[in-house]
Structure 1
Amino acid sequence: MAIVVVTAPAVEPVTLNDLKQHVRATDFTDDDEILTAKGISARQHVERFIGKPLISTTFELVYDAFPAGAITLPKGPLQSVTSVKYLDAATGLEATLSSDDYAVDTASDPGRIKPGVGGWPDTAETVNAVRIRFVAGYGDAPEDVPEPLREAVLQLAAQAYQHRAAALVGESAASIPFGVGDMLGEYREWSF
């Protein structure tokens, strides 16, 4: 199994203006590129920590064959399944499964897809025979992202902006700002 990003988020959950206000740098533009990079890095850190994209992102999940039963999609919250493609066992050609042949569960987090009455079709015996494309994230706009997650991005970006060195001499440092772990804990995807 592998998962790849097909289409990255179109916007960031925290705007440059939000970051500039947070670090009190609204009067100049010298650091706009640095702040933007710190914001992207902070968003990526939050996404890795909670195991979910913040803004709508298109993923492709790849299997060598269909697993038995329902397939849990490893990124959530699931918005939609774009396509389920597979290499047909009889022809070896790529086929697209009709959306009538599977059910999509967007209420669960992470979401899942369940095969119809006939089960999943047989696939050619090769690597990467199944490709499931789906969209996950809290929404398309920054306002769709829960406020604690946006605040965590602001806190992480501000810390990275204000402490650009890898080590601080004469100061104590934390890997993440105080309280950020608590903000993220509620949203973290736990797998057992």
Structure 2
Amino acid sequence: MLKFFYSNGSSAVAAHILLEEVAASYEAIKVSIPNGDHLAPKFLRINPKGRIPVLLTPQSTITENPAILEYIAATHKDGATLPLGPDAQAQARSLAAYLCATAHVAFAHNHRGRRWAEQDASVKDMQSNVARNLTDCARFLEQEIDEGPWALGRTYTYCDPYLFLMARWMAVVGLSITAFPKLSAHHDAMLARASTQKVLDIHGLS
């Protein structure tokens, strides 16, 4: 039995969707970021980073979305969400890494600026550039992802729930995914899946 720690509306939505997509056997444990539960001693013993999501497996504790997503895909092969072959797997890792290290960080500057700066002016400067930076990320992804219907082509992979978060990140700062046809089509395809709808309902986002 896997144990999955999440906070409503956080980037944990991606892994949560994948767990449902592959019909994993797991226990979902809510950790409220707004309430500061992720910084409580009990949770920090599980993940000293104080970050969500976290996946506890029978063997280890896994943190960071790219690692969690790939683990779920690799251990639930009946779900066929792990790309086949080293080249396709490298492409999947590349996309997941970009979403984690570039797109998500660009979004985090909107409300987590204190991670990087102390001066109010510096935080406000970061916030003022979030929309531009996310637009740049969306423009890059629009060029890089396959014609679809999925991020890497005709087969749904563990990257797809992660890419799905782009629309939410953009919407928070007043941007629309509809300006990017491939990203918009991908978002619609994700919304049509039962796994996505179930998790959006759990997170109060439906």
TM-score range, shorter chain: under 0.3
Task: Flag the structure with higher helix content.
Answer: 2
Higher RCO (CA < 8 A, seq sep 6+): 1
Task: Flag the structure with higher strand content.
Answer: 1
Larger radius of gyration: 1
TM-score, length-normalised on structure 2? 0.24
